[in-house]
Every structure is written in C-alpha cells, then in structure tokens.
Structure 1
Amino acid sequence: MKTRWTGKRVLIFGLGQFPQGSGVTAALWFAKRGARVTVTDMKTADRVAATVRQLRGKRNVTLVLGKHRRSDFLRADLIVRNPGVPWHSPYLELAKRRHIPVHSDVSLFLEACPAPVVGITGTRGKSTTSALAAAMLEASGYRTWLGGNILVSPLSFLHRVKPGHRVVLELSSFLTETLGPDRRAPQVAVITNLMRDHLNFYPDMKTYAAAKERIFSFQSLTSAAVVGRDNTWTRKMGARVVGRRYWWSAAPFPEENGAFLRGSRLIVRENGKERIVADLKSMPLPGEHNRANAAAAAMAAIAAGATDAGIRKALKSFRGLPNRQETVARIGGVRFVNDTTATTPDALLAALATFGSKKHLVLIAGGTDKNLDFRDVPKAVRRAVRTMILLPGSGTDKMVAAFRTQGIRMPAFSADSMDAAVTLAAGIGGRGDTVLLSPGCTSFGLFKNEFDRGERFREAVAGL
C-alpha cells in the first residue's frame, strides 16, 4: 500500500540499544510504510545486537554501523534523530544548512496521533508522574497509552490509538528539544521541576532549561500547562505559558488554579473552588517527593479528563516503577533497594531523605560525572549512611573530593563491579538495615546504561 513515505529516503540517526526504543521503532515504522531507510550508528553491530536482529531481512533497510557517512545525510529527505544523539552534532548542523527536516519519534507521533496527549518533562519525578497520571486516566475509564522516555517509542502503538483514548508521554530534554518541526505540542504539557543535570551535554543551565521549556512552545490558548510552583526555574516558565495554566505544589498557594498538598490531603482548586481529591496517607509509594509527584500527576490527569474517583483508585494501587526506589528483595532482615535512575546528586539526596533514618543505610554510589555539583552530598550522607560502597568513575572522584574539602570522613569501600559491591554491602548490613543503590552519577563506562546497572544489582542480590 502506497503511503506519503513510499520511496522517501529516511535516515535514522542513532539505532540505540533498547528493543522498543526510538531508533529501531522509527526504522521499522518507516520501512513498513515503504520508505527507503538507512540506519546509522557509531556503535558496531555487536554492541547493538538486540536491535540489529529486529532489522535483519528488511529489504528496504540499510545498516551503516561503526561509522557515519556524510553522503547519507546529504541524500536524506528526512532525518529521525535518536534522543541519545547530541543536537549540536556536526551531521545535524549539515542537515539544517541543507534544510533537511529533522524529527524525533515523538514529533512524528504528535503529528499523527488522533487522541489527546499528556507530555511530562522535568529533571526528577517525570517517570513516576507519567506512569501515575496514566494509571489515573486508565482508572477513570480511558484506554491509556504510556510511552516516550520510559523505554517505549510511541510509534510502536500509534496504529492502535483511537480518538477517545488518552496518551501519556514521558519526555526528556533530548525529546522536548526536537518538538517543533510541525509546530505540534502535547494538549496537556507538564513540567515537574528543573535541577542541575546533563551539563555534560548542555553548556549551562540556561540552555538546558530552554530545551525543557520547549514542551510549552507550540501550545494553543486551549491547551493546558501544568507547572511546578516550588522550583524557581519552572515558576518563571509558568509565567510565560500561553495556554490554561495549572500550578502544582507540595504546599498550599493562594487563588490560582492547580493542585497542592495540605497535610496528607491532595487539594485541587479550579475557578476559585477547592475540593479534596484524595488523602495520601494510604498511598503505597514512600517519600515526600512521591506525594509531590502525586499532586503533579493528579493535576495533569484532571486536565486530560480524569475523575476524582479514578485518581483515588490509582493512588491506592500504584506501587511505583522498576529501578526507582524499588525494593527488590529482603534477605535476612536486610532490605535491598534499587534506585539506579538516581543519576544526579539531587536524586541521591531524595533517596537519602526517604530511606536514611537512624543510619541503618549501606549506600552503593558513584559512577561517571555529568558536570554536576556534589557539595550537598557529604553532610546528607553523614546524617543518613553508616557505610558507603563506591563504584569507579569520574563522578566518584568528584564525590570523594567533596568529602575531603568539607573534612567529612565516612567508612567507605571501593568495588570494581556490581557483584563485588552487593557482596560487600550484604556483609556489612544487618537485620533492620537497607542496602541502597542510589549512585548519584550516570552509568557510562562500567554499564551499558542505568537500566543495565539496575539489572546487574538485581542479579547480584538474587545471587546472594
């Protein structure tokens, strides 16, 4: 069957390693629609074997692995950029000079999706907020699809989405910065917060913030913007949105529309009228940060049509996501918690606030730096942690330097693998203790990615 893409030369820039990720899904999507697809990635075939297998035998797909060819970019009618590819890549600069359209799987999805879309971004909390908002919409009676940065490309389910459905997309800065080729935006755009992150990719916080704020750039007057009020960066963004603005906050605020917490109660205010939507005392998710996530998710879901009853139902049953403060086992009275997605110092601090009472904590931390600041880590660790197990990397070196600068000494051991780290931690921990993997750093070097790091932790714990 002939489509608008039949015969078009489409270049997928970055295949990626995830079986349902942006690169491989876009390649399959365009191949099915008759495009002449070229996939280019600097990784060799053995490093992306899982995704290469999915493309073998596709007659209209050409793989160019271990290199990039300038000619592929010059010949393309359309380029689909994998989120892992830096926006300032010289190959993308070349494409822009030639006026070749550059899309992402998300921008293509927004162009074609027949249902309302809730897009959620932010430095921390976006995965949990996205999954919780989707659960609230599902519990309110909507067929709801969840994708984006949560490891599922929305192109994989686009053909199944109907106008009466709802879609929730988790959007990293690498995805929000690609919005705009067709001036489409999520009908409900949400930002949780903005903290220092990815400064190994962005030159400064201003540039990183601009990438995040792009989620609001193409909204209309009838769109909804759900904005975190407790963060200086996002509060400034909220003053600039053009659509219907709803704040969310962990504390009451005056007059304006939005959701906030008053004690354990989740309150929503619309058009000057307040109502209690839920009491969060019975919410299974631990931590004050997750109560704040619940406020953001509820406001986003309400803006997309969720009912109060659906929100309450989801809050009672939602137990969180893998790799995010996830209890993977209890062995001999010791709890093992996987928080591998804590790739920044701020995320590590949030985990310490949740689990670090009475110094019953053995912390596995460290990895590669993202040009972030560790100055707040030593005092928080001293308050909450009994012993640290440190994985190797530039971020670990920077963390240790912060301890030395502040004159804070902690019992600490080094481990050159996750197996060694877990074995050490298990030997130190006793009944009533928690072994917490919350690295505060990214995973480059020792692991494929943070999810591989979490899986290695899970496997090491299972092997005890």
Structure 2
Amino acid sequence: MYLNELKNKKILVLGFGKEGKDNYLALRKLFPEKTFAIADKLEFKELPKKTQKLLKQDKQLKLHFGKNYLRSLKNYQLIIKTPGISLRNIRPFLKKKTKVISQTEIFFEYCPGKIIGVTGTKGKGTTSSLIYQILKNGKLRVHLIGNIGRPVFQALLRAKASDIFVYEISSHQLQTLKKSPFIAVFLNLYPDHLDYYKNFKEYCRAKESIARYQTKKDYFIYNSEQKLLREIAKKSKAKRIPIPTNYEFLIHPPKFCKAKFRRAGIRIPLTGKFNLQNIMAAVTVGKIFGVSDRKIIQTIENFKPLPHRLEFVGRYKEIEFYNDSFATIPQATIAALDALGKRVKTLILGGSSKKEIDFPLLAKKILKSKIENLILFPDTGKEIWQEILNLKKKSKNLPKSFFVSSMAEAVKTAYQCTKKGSICLLSPASASFSLFRNYKERGNLFKKDVKSFARS
C-alpha cells in the first residue's frame, strides 16, 4: 500500500534530523528520478556543510527550510513526518485529503522479519541494547534499529524473513501505528513529553499502540508493578508475561526463564533496582528465542552501560562523579538516588520546565536521602527548591542551595562543597533545553568540566 502511495503521490519529508535524513536517502534510492521535498524549521545555512552539499546536488529535490516551513505542507499529498514534530502543530496547515505517515508505520507494514518493540518512559535504550547483544551472542540474525541503532529505512531495504529487529520505540513513533510487534516490551509509564501531548492520558494512549494490535501468536512483556501497564496488558491478545519483580532472579530464576544464575558468580555492570528489571526483560526475550543460559550470562557480564545513564565519570580529588543526564523526569532521579544510596552528598539538577511534571516526591526523597548540597539550574531548579522549602517544617536539616547558570559554574561549585569520599551526582529530573541543546550535550559538558576542574 505505502509503496504505491510513495510512487504516485507528491511527497514531502517533514523534519530533517537523523530520521528525516534516513527518509530522504531511502526515497532517493527507491525512486532515483522522482521529485519530492524536504521541510524543516532550521535555516538551510544551519545544516552541516556536507549535508548542504548533498541536498544542493539533488536536482529533483524541493527545499522548504526556515520558520515558515509548515506553509509548504498544503502543496503535498503525502507527508512522511519525523517523530519530534507534533501532529497537533501541523494539522492547521494540512489539506483534508493530505495523508500523514511515519517511518515506523512503513517499517511495520513492510518488514519481512520479526520485530521486537521496546518502549517505556525510561530504560528503552539500555533494554534494547541488552536484548540485541543477547540475541547476537546467541548467533541469531539480529539488528538494532531506531534511536540508538541503524537507520530504520536503511535496515528495511536489506531486510529478510530470517531477520530479527530490536526497535526502541518512543511514544511519538507509536502514536499513529496500526500494527504491533511480535514481542512488545513495556518497561514503565510516567508523565513525560507533556509539552508534546495535551495531557498524560493522550501520552498513555500513544504508548498503548505497542500492544493494541497484537495477536495470539505474539508476546507482551510488561511491568506488572504498575497498574496502568496491568490495564494495558488486559487489552492485549498476546501471551502476557509479567517482568519478574522479586529481584532475586540471579538465585531463583522465574519459571519462564530457566537460566541458572548465581549471584556470587555474576558481575552485573548496571547499577540500581530499575536496571535489574531491564535485565530481566531482556533475559525473557532471550529465552523466547532459545538463547542458552551460558550466552545470556556472558552477555550480562560483558554489557557496557550506555552513556549518560548513571555513568561513572571517575574519582577526582577524592570525590566520585556520576553522569545521569538522561534523567529528564523526577522518577528517574529518585531511581538514581536509590541506586547510589546515601553516599550522594551533592546533587545537580534542574532544567527546562514541562507542564504537569510535579516535584513533591523528589523533594521528599532529597530530604530523606540527607543530601547536603543542591546545585540548581534554571528553570525547574527554583521549582524544586520551593517544594523542599514547603516541606521544611518536616525536616530539621535543609541542604544548601546553589543557583547556577552554566555547567562550568555547577561543577566548580560541586568541587568546592562536596565532602571527600562522597558522591556528586548529575541527575537533573528535567529536560535540558533551558541551557543545553539536549541531554547528550549536558552530560558531555559535565564530564568535560569534571575532568578540567580536576586538573586545576
């Protein structure tokens, strides 16, 4: 269905980030002579020089770059939208008969192999990567695609029936999906991306698509500790498998996973209870595909944690530094504090504000953890500090507060106020956009400044 539409209709690729570029390259490979268009809010001159040259050389390409890019939508019949652009924002610019589709929809429609879809507010990347490594070490023909793997269309063009695709899928990618994967892994569900959705309910509805269209031949692996996910599981026709939650699986493996783990003999390179859950979800997928216990154990022991997820930066001037820049919601920071324990004496947090994100639980956790120093970025730094002040009657000892406006200032302050032998943790509980382009830039600057100030 989609290939005929792609061939016969006027197409526009909306958004030119990583996925948009993949869309463009795949379309050009499929249709070398076809004229189509690209639209993005960036000015053309803001693109990398190499990308500018690539697009200028394509004589069959129309370009709509800059702040008025959405006005071009009315001239096209088929829009291939990238996930970061909200449907709500583009609807006023569409004609009634204009169809909006996504890369994810096309992949699910035409993929000849098996798809393992992994979603959740947090933990998708780690779990997807671990599943991929387990299946790869089990000698299966497996590919990691999406946000942390190969470009999706590039993988689709080479896909075979024997292939397995591990696809980390965000709520944005799930929102318009009309098919569900062979194995759906749903890790957790917390308020997030509420600058993109009307409310938390709409966000949940988008996430549900991962299980909504499953059949009896499929599998739904989910976190049964969360009521919302138990409700979603009830709607799935697939074989439902709760992620084991006793956290003693290394000694007493769940019946479904017969791997004979032994805690004393296994090194787990991932910190925190939430990562044990990610591991158990990945183990369950491995057993569905028949990967041996030995291979699963080897994979867990040799797994390298992803950057910016409770990443140990190093020990400098007798202080341990951890980079958890990927923690963009309060629940993630609470999990990080649980994982590292009461040795955390300095916490760097705050960032851009999101509607419907509340901080009371985080404030309680900070006071309970007896953190001594809070280093706070705008905008949410003030909100978090106010929540702590609201609780001051219930706590005798408030942490010291330091309001900063740059990463260098934050790290310099951390060195000055953190006790030797303790931990300084960057775990912002907020998005990055008040001061940084994204969580990666924020985390990389933290690591750079930690090492730079260590030498001073």
Give TM-score scaled by structure 2 length: 0.89
SS of aligned partner of 1:79:
strand
Cα distance, 1:367–1:50 mapped onto 2, change above 3 Å: farther
**2: CA distance, partners of 1:47 / 1:424:** 34
AA in 2 matched with 1:49: P
Retained in 2: the 8 A contact 1:31–1:60?
no
**For each residue in 1:273-332, what CA deviation from the matched residue of structure 2 results, as whole angstroms up to 9, or x when unmatched?**
x73443455212111111111111122333345333332221111131011111123223
**Aligned: 1:125 with 2:114:** no
Question: What are the equivalent positions in structure 2 for 1:254-269 lying under 5 Å apart?
Answer: 261-262=247-248, 264-265=250-251, 267-269=253-255
Cα distance, 1:332–1:278 mapped onto 2, change above 3 Å: same
* CA-CA distance at 1:354 after TM superposition: 1.2
Question: What are the equivalent positions in structure 2 for 1:139-150 lying under 5 Å apart?
Answer: 139-150=137-148
**Aligned: 1:297 with 2:282:** yes
- Residue of structure 2 equivalent to 1:308: 293
**1: CA distance, partners of 2:261 / 2:157:** 35
Note the aligned Cα RMSD (angstroms): 2.3
- Residue of structure 2 equivalent to 1:220: 215
* CA-CA distance at 1:23 after TM superposition: 1.4
Retained in 1: the 8 A contact 2:373–2:418?
no
The structure with the greater share of residues assigned to helix is: 2
SS of aligned partner of 1:29:
helix
Question: What are the equivalent positions in structure 2 for 1:138-217 lying under 5 Å apart?
Answer: 138-150=136-148, 152-180=150-178, 184-217=179-212
**Of 105, 108, 113, the match for 1:107:** 105
- Residue of structure 1 equivalent to 2:385: 400
**Of 15, 19, 38, the match for 1:22:** 19
- Residue of structure 2 equivalent to 1:13: 14
Cα distance, 1:60–1:416 mapped onto 2, change above 3 Å: same
Retained in 2: the 8 A contact 1:324–1:342?
yes
**1: CA distance, partners of 2:447 / 2:69:** 39
SS of aligned partner of 2:405:
coil
- Residue of structure 1 equivalent to 2:373: 387
SS of aligned partner of 1:157:
helix
**Aligned: 1:422 with 2:411:** yes
- Residue of structure 1 equivalent to 2:227: 232
The number of aligned residues is 439
Cα distance, 1:185–1:402 mapped onto 2, change above 3 Å: same
SS of aligned partner of 2:332:
helix
**2: CA distance, partners of 1:60 / 1:150:** 30
Give TM-score scaled by structure 1 length: 0.88
**2: CA distance, partners of 1:188 / 1:55:** 38
Retained in 1: the 8 A contact 2:249–2:261?
no
Larger mean Cα displacement after TM superposition, 61-70 or 35-44: 61-70
AA in 2 matched with 1:28: L
Retained in 1: the 8 A contact 2:305–2:311?
yes
**Aligned: 1:325 with 2:310:** yes
SS of aligned partner of 2:360:
coil
Retained in 2: the 8 A contact 1:282–1:316?
yes
**For each residue in 1:59-86, what CA deviation from the matched residue of structure 2 results, as whole angstroms up to 9, or x when unmatched?**
3333211134566323323211111111
Larger mean Cα displacement after TM superposition, 339-348 or 312-321: 312-321
Cα distance, 1:440–1:149 mapped onto 2, change above 3 Å: same
- Residue of structure 2 equivalent to 1:65: 65
Cα distance, 1:423–1:62 mapped onto 2, change above 3 Å: farther
- Residue of structure 2 equivalent to 1:49: 48
* CA-CA distance at 1:138 after TM superposition: 0.9
Larger mean Cα displacement after TM superposition, 402-411 or 118-127: 402-411
Cα distance, 1:68–1:434 mapped onto 2, change above 3 Å: same
**1: CA distance, partners of 2:158 / 2:49:** 25
Larger mean Cα displacement after TM superposition, 160-169 or 413-422: 160-169
Retained in 1: the 8 A contact 2:213–2:236?
no
**Of 340, 344, 354, the match for 1:370:** 354
- Residue of structure 1 equivalent to 2:237: 242
Cα distance, 1:50–1:324 mapped onto 2, change above 3 Å: farther
- Residue of structure 1 equivalent to 2:261: 278
* CA-CA distance at 1:135 after TM superposition: 1.1
AA in 1 matched with 2:258: R
Residue segments in structure 2 that go unaligned for 5+ positions in a row: none
Retained in 1: the 8 A contact 2:115–2:167?
yes
**For each residue in 1:398-430, what CA deviation from the matched residue of structure 2 results, as whole angstroms up to 9, or x when unmatched?**
212211211253212122111111122123334
SS of aligned partner of 1:320:
coil
**2: CA distance, partners of 1:51 / 1:369:** 34
**Aligned: 1:452 with 2:451:** no
Cα distance, 1:462–1:307 mapped onto 2, change above 3 Å: same
Cα distance, 1:109–1:45 mapped onto 2, change above 3 Å: same
SS of aligned partner of 1:246:
strand
**For each residue in 1:103-147, what CA deviation from the matched residue of structure 2 results, as whole angstroms up to 9, or x when unmatched?**
222222222222211000111211111111111111111132112
Cα distance, 1:263–1:357 mapped onto 2, change above 3 Å: farther
